[in-house]
RNA sequence: GGCGACGUAGCCAAGUGGUAAGGCAGAGGUCUGCAAAACCUCCAUCCCGAGUUCGAUUCUCGGCGUCGCCUCCA
């Protein structure tokens, strides 16, 4: 089975193969650290996570670079307001971002380059574009000359004539040859040096434009042609279009072979979650409201196919939490000693489900469909366990199925394995009371444990506990 | 106005030219000291209209509706 991915560049599903056998060079658009990221941002990050995990499942070694954009107009503005340098200002949000990623079990990238630490690379890129006539300088600002790159618009399918030369372009304060030209380098404003936001360059003190850092850092660590470049659909234009233009104008080579774009997370009303609208929830908000981070992860990664919009909704979050619980429940039951029974049927079902699960993931990362296959078997397996019909063969096959899914989901492992001794003692005391058929005492202890957030489940093989 | 995506049960969400996975919620039941969990049963004809076809939810056209992008955006 081969991995097929939807490539925005061609607008079609394509068989994936990296340039170098066995190794994938992956670049994913990281955060601009000017504020706390919201769960919509993390939907994107978890899409990257899903892709990377599946590439690894598929046998590839993945070199993953994700940028940290720590210089931009908003950071500049906020830092000035807070009377801090941009580094001081952005450090808080950068740290929070990494904490949130860890909470969501994001598989870390290999390299997280910061824009401010690659000014030299950026200057080299801008210099090259100027030398070749792909850019021009106006009074300390440098712009990319879109007319010099005929393929402009190929990714976003925007016809250049169709890019309305009106609206916001008219308000642009810079003097550009053409409305669609974009800044590669911006002249320093007054006080920028005090904020730590001005660097010397052949065109005078200034800072990089928005798009250039991605080109510079991607090529720095991954070479001139990437295998996969990911981002949200809202970055297709102008960000990715501009990345392509400036990178390919510089190298004369394709910048990225596969462009993958994830759809947005929407609020309850269906509107895209975004900071400017204010309809956002941060991970911190959700945790404070008592939501399990693992359920949030499941919701964001498996709640919908990555190219479909996903609506943020309490019921959907609850549904995610229940699905995680059911998977964990079955996983726990499969730790028991298998019976000596003939279980060819169940084993076959588990193996077939695993093949179908794999095929779903190979088909453009269709995890929601894959989970359908998994849950088909979850029910069958539980029924068989109820009847004591699970032997060693099917037990192994079922565990393999769950492991295969968990290679993407990463929801089975618990954050805290242990139980406080005092609570464990209460469970033991309850078991003794039950053995003596002193159900009043047993029920009292169970209720008390419930108040401590521990739920009990009695089974033939003993009592199981879990956090509520 | 241009480009693009989407409209499947109370909710979330897959999918297919031959009469629609899965999950949540809900109802009834089995099991259990009671619970919980688990299991069993029930719960949709796929926005509307026309067309193509032996047959369309799936293809085409036209509506209606929702959303995204059109230089802040994951």
> What value of ipTM does the predicted structure carry?
0.94
Topology of A4-262 in CATH? Answer: Rossmann fold (3.40.50)
Task: Say what the pLDDT of residue A253 is.
Answer: 95
Euclidean distance between the first and the last CA atom of chain A, given in angstroms as a whole number:
40
Architecture of domain A314-409 in this structure: Up-down Bundle (1.20)
Which residue's C-alpha is at the least distance from the C1' of B30?
Answer: A386
Task: Say what the pLDDT of residue A84 is.
Answer: 94
- A323 Cβ nearer than 7 Å to chain B strand: yes
H/E element, A266: strand A265-266
DSSP A339: B
Note the residue count of chain A.
468
Task: Say what the pLDDT of residue A168 is.
Answer: 42
Collapse the DSSP code of A143 into the 3-class scheme (helix H, G, I; strand E, B; otherwise coil) and give the result. strand
Q: In angstroms, rounded to a whole number, what is the distance separating the alpha carbons of residues A324 and A467?
A: 13
> Where along chain A do its domains lie?
4-262, 314-409, 421-467
A247 Cβ neighbours under 8 A, 6+ residues apart: A215, A218, A219, A224, A255
Which residue's C-alpha is at the least distance from the C1' of B10?
Answer: A315
Which residue's C-alpha is at the least distance from the C1' of B72?
Answer: A276
Task: Say what the pLDDT of residue A245 is.
Answer: 95
Q: In angstroms, rounded to a whole number, what is the distance separating the alpha carbons of residues A4 and A20?
A: 17
Question: Encoding tokens for residue A223?
Answer: 């070479």
Q: What is the pLDDT of residues A246-276, one digit of tens each?
A: 999 999 999 999 999 999 999 888 888 988 8
A1 Cβ neighbours under 8 A, 6+ residues apart: A358, A359, A362
Note the strand B nucleotides within 7 A of protein beta carbons: 1-6, 10-15, 21-25, 32-40, 66-74
Q: In angstroms, rounded to a whole number, what is the distance separating the alpha carbons of residues A303 and A411?
A: 14
- Bin A308: left if φ > 0, else alpha if -120 < ψ < 50, else beta: beta
Q: In angstroms, rounded to a whole number, what is the distance separating the alpha carbons of residues A185 and A208?
A: 4
Question: Encoding tokens for residue A135?
Answer: 């850019």
Per-residue tens of pLDDT for chain A, all 468 residues: 689 999 999 888 999 999 999 999 999 999 999 999 999 999 999 999 999 999 999 999 999 999 999 999 999 999 999 999 999 999 999 999 999 999 999 999 999 999 999 999 999 999 999 999 999 999 899 999 998 998 898 898 877 655 544 334 444 455 788 888 999 999 999 889 999 999 999 999 999 999 999 999 999 999 999 999 999 999 999 999 999 999 999 999 999 999 999 999 998 888 889 888 888 899 999 999 989 999 999 999 999 999 999 998 888 999 999 999 999 999 999 998 888 888 899 999 999 999 999 999 999 999 999 999 999 999 999 999 999 999 999 999 999 999 999 999 999 998 776 788 899 999 999 999 998 999 999 999 999 998 888 998 888 778 888 887
Nucleotide nearest to A433 (CA to C1'): B33
- Bin A105: left if φ > 0, else alpha if -120 < ψ < 50, else beta: left
Helices (H) and strands (E) in chain A, counts: 14, 14
A60 Cβ neighbours under 8 A, 6+ residues apart: A18, A22, A23, A24
Give residues 148-207 of chain A lying near strand B (Cβ < 7 A): 156-159, 162-164, 167-169, 179-180, 182
Give CA A250 to chain center in angstroms: 29
Q: Which of A190, A189, A187 is nearest to A201 (CA)?
A: A187
Question: Encoding tokens for residue A52?
Answer: 């990377």
Task: Say what the pLDDT of residue A171 is.
Answer: 41
Beta bridge partners of A130: none
Give residues 80-119 of chain A lying near strand B (Cβ < 7 A): none
Q: 10 Å Cβ neighbour count for A447?
A: 9
Give residues 244-303 of chain A lying near strand B (Cβ < 7 A): 262-266, 269-276, 303
Q: In angstroms, rounded to a whole number, what is the distance separating the alpha carbons of residues A302 and A345?
A: 28
Q: In angstroms, rounded to a whole number, what is the distance separating the alpha carbons of residues A328 and A186?
A: 53
Å from A369 (CA) to B48 (C1')? 29
β A454-459/A462-467 pair status = antiparallel
């Amino acid at each position: 089975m081969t991995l097929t991915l939807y490539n925005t560049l061609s607008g079609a599903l394509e068989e994936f193969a990296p340039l170098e056998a066995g190794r994938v060079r992956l670049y994913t658009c990281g955060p601009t650290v000017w504020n706390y990221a919201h769960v919509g941002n993390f939907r994107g990050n978890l899409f990257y996570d899903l892709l990377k995990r599946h590439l690894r499942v598929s046998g590839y070694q993945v070199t993953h670079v994700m940028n940290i954009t720590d210089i931009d107009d908003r950071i500049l503005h906020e830092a000035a307001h807070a009377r801090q340098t941009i580094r001081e200002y952005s450090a808080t949000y950068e740290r929070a971002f990494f904490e949130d990623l860890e909470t969501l079990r994001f598989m870390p990238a290999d390299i997280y380059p910061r824009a401010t630490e690659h000014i030299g690379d950026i200057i080299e890129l801008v210099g090259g574009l100027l030398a070749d006539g792909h850019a021009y300088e106006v009074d300390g600002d440098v712009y990319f000359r879109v007319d010099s790159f005929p393929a402009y618009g190929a990714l976003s399918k925007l016809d250049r004539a169709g890019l309305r030369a009106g609206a916001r372009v008219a308000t642009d304060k810079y003097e550009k040859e053409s409305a669609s030209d974009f800044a590669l380098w911006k002249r320093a404003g007054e006080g920028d040096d005090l904020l730590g936001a001005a660097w010397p360059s052949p065109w005078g003190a200034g800072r990089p434009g928005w798009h250039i850092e991605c080109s510079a850092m991607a090529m720095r660590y991954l070479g001139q042609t990437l295998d996969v470049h990911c981002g949200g659909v809202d970055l297709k234009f102008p960000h990715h279009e501009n990345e392509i233009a400036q990178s390919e104008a510089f190298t004369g080579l394709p910048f990225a072979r596969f462009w993958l774009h994830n759809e947005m997370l929407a609020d309850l009303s269906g509107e895209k979650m975004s900071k400017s609208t204010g309809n956002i929830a941060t991970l911190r908000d959700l945790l404070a409201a008592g939501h399990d981070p693992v359920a949030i992860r499941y919701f964001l990664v498996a709640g919908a196919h990555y190219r479909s919009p996903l609506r943020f909704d309490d019921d959907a979050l609850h549904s995610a939490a229940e699905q995680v619980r059911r998977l964990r429940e079955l996983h726990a039951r499969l730790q028991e000693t298998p019976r000596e029974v003939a279980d060819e049927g169940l084993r076959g079902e588990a193996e077939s489900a695993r093949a179908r699960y794999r095929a779903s993931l190979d088909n453009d990362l269709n995890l929601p469909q894959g989970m359908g296959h998994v849950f088909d078997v979850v029910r069958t397996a539980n029924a068989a366990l109820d009847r004591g019909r699970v032997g060693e063969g099917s037990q192994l096959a079922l565990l393999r199925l769950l492991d295969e899914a968990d290679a993407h989901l990463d929801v089975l492992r618990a954050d805290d394995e242990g139980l406080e001794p005092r609570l464990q003692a209460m469970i033991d005391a309850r078991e003794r009371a039950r053995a003596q058929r002193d159900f009043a005492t047993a029920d009292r202890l169970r209720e008390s444990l419930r108040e401590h957030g521990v739920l009990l489940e009695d089974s033939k093989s003993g009592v199981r506990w879990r956090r509520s």
